[in-house]
A = this chain, B = another copy of it.
């Protein structure tokens, strides 16, 4: 809609940035009306040269840092393949139409930083430059793309370019782990980005629509059965298509199963009553129990809750292959065949497979930990170094101040006695491994605490003044039907109380004021009128 252009309205109406910054660090509050992006220097509205902080990634680590870094002190730019931050805890909610997609997105450019949409392709630590591979194409935006040759080729349409930095923050996160299982990349849906949520939503709704077509002729409809023409769906076909398989019993998988259950039993049951008996939801996991981060009692409670809701949990099951059903509609619109070790040759079928089995290292990180370079630093001799790589996870080892460790030893996973760091290269989020606490989980909580810590230290200008300490706020998982579980050192909660805590926590953490308003509005509207069920 149109912004008022009268001075009155200008007075009435704070700018997006003023409001946005209200939820930010004090530094944020002094943003000018036109966001300070890298152009404004060329436009000439900015003071003298500042230190250039370049942030790779726009997730929980990168975006939170970009928001709270001092604009007075630093000239901040972000490089990320997507132009927004996704509030991931609510992603499952958007995938079932409870929330609008946009209500959980925060555009990076609105944070008032410079932005280049693309992948950081390589880093020259000696000359302090990042090579950027642009990505401005619609079809690449918002999707989890497990890097494949084709997808990259598609993306390279614009010339690569190099962006220099004074301080670099690597927060590129991690990719979904497929364990190289055949067919996963082609046929499974991930749930890590907004485009994933959209495609899952479309798929669920179109499966119900497909299955609502008449199976056979009745007094009501005559199914055309001309030879050569496709045959109508049988009830067996529909049972295949209405089986929803979720692989991975972590919070993401469990919460999606819960949200999907709510969607089907609260909304779709009214619209497709005759299909509900055919629906199955199954969660597969290789481990002996789901939700490993919760203690026995809470995990048991979760499994009982699912049991009552008719969601099947199959632990100790090993998926070996996904392929397309060669039967009815042997196409992307048909069922998916799932080969499971425990079932032998007899394969399972599903209309959709949601894949959420943990994370693997980002290709950039692999490239970095395997490259030799000569750092320019006073306190190290000009000899070849490597980034220190964590043996177990392959991540980048950082010191207690989140600076990348480097080593001269041949085996890049062994620290040398010098224990040097790249003083102007910080690593936070999923791709960082703290040498003094290697077991920190790859969670949004860790990433955002590291971002907050680093922003404070950089704004204060004393990076090594105090070490980063992780404070566990506890874990929350939604179980569907107004129930959740919460666990922390202090307490354990389950059911309604935990659910309210869950909603509250998300609400207050939801980033901008825009979304602080929109999310509860959508929750209320969906509760009152039902979820959005239109496909587009």
Interface residues of A (CB under 8 A from B): 1-5, 13-14, 16, 19-20, 34-35, 37-43, 83-84, 93, 98, 100-102, 105, 107, 109-110, 115-117, 129, 131, 134, 136-138, 141-142, 156-164, 193-195, 198-199, 202-203, 206, 209-210, 212-214, 217, 220-225, 229-233, 262, 266, 270-274, 329, 331, 333, 480-482, 512-514, 517-518, 521, 523, 525-536
Contacts and interface: CB of A to CB of B under 8 A. Distances in A.
A161 B5 CA distance: 56
B1 A526 contact: yes
Given A3-B530, A159-B225, A159-B232, 9 more contacts: A5-B482, A16-B528, A105-B532, A110-B271, A116-B212, A158-B232, A159-B213, A161-B223, A163-B221
Given A83-B535, A131-B224, A333-B137, A230 B43 contact: no
Contact of A102 (B107, B521, B534): B534
| 8 nearest A-B pairs in the assembled complex, by CB-CB distance | A142-B536, A136-B209, A84-B534, A514-B529, A159-B232, A136-B210, A162-B222, A194-B536
Contacts of A525: 514, 517-518
B37 A271 contact: yes
B141 A202 contact: yes
A198 B102 CA distance: 13
A110 B533 contact: yes
8 contacts: A16-B530, A131-B224, A136-B210, A138-B202, A159-B225, A161-B222, A514-B529, A518-B521
A209 B138 CA distance: 10
A206 to B, nearest CB: 5
A364 to B, nearest CB: 17
Contact of A221 (B100, B162, B482, B514): B162
A141 B206 contact: yes
Contact of A231 (B159, B530, B531, B534): B159
Contacts of A221: 161-164
Contact of A157 (B223, B329, B531): B329
Nearest to A329: B157
Contacts of A164: 220-222
A213 B136 contact: yes
Given A16-B529, A134-B213, A514-B525, A2 B480 contact: yes
A274 B233 contact: no
B158 A273 contact: no
B527 A1 contact: yes
B333 A157 contact: yes
A161 B214 contact: yes
Contacts of A533: 83, 107, 109-110
Given A38-B220, A262-B2, A536 B195 contact: yes
Nearest to A121: B224
B34 A270 contact: yes
A186 to B, nearest CB: 16
Contacts of A518: 521, 525
Contacts of A232: 158-159, 161
Nearest to A127: B222
Q: Which of A20, A116, A161 has the most CB of B within 10 A?
A: A161
Given A2-B482, A156-B230, A107 B534 contact: yes
Q: Which of A514, A517, A525 has the most B CB atoms < 10 Å from its CB?
A: A525
A129 B35 CA distance: 62
A329 B525 CA distance: 44
A28 to B, nearest CB: 15
| A1, A39, A527, A534: most-surrounded residue (chain B CB, <10 A) | A1
Contacts of A117: 209, 212
Contacts of A109: 271, 533
A220 B164 CA distance: 7
Nearest to A106: B534
